[in-house]
Amino acid sequence: MTTAAQRQRPALPALARLCVRVALDRVSLYLPVVLMGLLALGTYWLVRSTPAPAQAQPERPVRHEPDYFMHDFSVKNFEVGGRLKSEVRGVDGRHFPDTDTLEIDQAHITSYADDGRRTVATANRALSNGDGSEVQLFGNAVVVREAGPNAKGDPQPRMEFRGEFLHVFVNTEQVRSNKPVTLIRGSDQFTADSLDYDNLGQVAQLQGRVKGVMVPGAGVTPTPR
């Protein structure tokens, strides 16, 4: 004899399968939301973990500071053909990269012209540009150009410049100063408040309180202006 409870037992598995299917359907509905949440969380963590981009550093102001020093030094400059063009000696030297200049204490500078004549410049302090073609002399400045023939073969007397400041242009053979100077050429001597001397043009421009002593027969003297 079959009871009512026995007749209902086969329906239990079907009911369980129905509940599982309903649960799976609900999970499938919320699964995209869960995945999107996990993706958003992962993206947030990745952004937090990524290092911040490097901030552009502001350019540092250029400072007038030496990048190397020299002591009891001698620097020689040669032309392409090997001929000695100049030699710079000093007790102490400092190179400044911002202006590409060399500052020299107790400077002794020797340069050689194309005609072979030697010019020697000395001063308590000197400031030279990068290639040595322009030198400023400060304190007890003296520039001496030895006697000898010029490029045309004409004899030239010894030249000497003295002052507290002299600006020498080596390549163009010029000497300038905006301070009192003394110019000695052979036996002739001039003093002035300022000077602009051009050896190639054989012209000396003396300004201010100009005084001069010219010795007859001392040779051709540059024209004072």
Please report the pLDDT score of residue 4 as a whole number. 47
Check residues 16 and 105 and name the one with the higher pLDDT.
105
- What are the residue ranges spanned by the domains of the chain? 4-49, 68-224
Backbone phi and psi for residue 23, each to the nearest 5 degrees, phi listed first: -65, -40
Residue pair 206/195 in contact by the 8 Å Cβ criterion: yes
pLDDT > 90: percent of the chain: 41
- The Cα 177–Cα 194 span in angstroms is 5
Q: In terms of CATH architecture, what is 68-224?
A: Sandwich (2.60)
> pLDDT per residue over 106-143, tens digit each?
999 998 887 778 899 999 999 999 888 899 999 999 99
Of the two residues 7 and 187, the one the predictor is more confident about is: 187
Which distant-in-sequence residues (6+ apart) come within 8 Å of 161 by Cβ? 141, 142, 143, 144, 175, 177, 181, 182, 183, 184, 195, 197
- Cα 72 to Cα 210: distance, rounded to the nearest angstrom: 39
Using alpha carbons only, how large is the chain's radius of gyration in Å? 45
Residues near 101 by Cβ (< 8 Å), separated by ≥ 6?
95, 127, 128, 129, 130
Of 175 and 38, the one with more pLDDT: 175
Please, which residues bridge with residue 69 across strands? 94
**Least confidently predicted of 8-17, 79-88, 139-148, 197-206:** 8-17
The structure's pTM equals 0.67
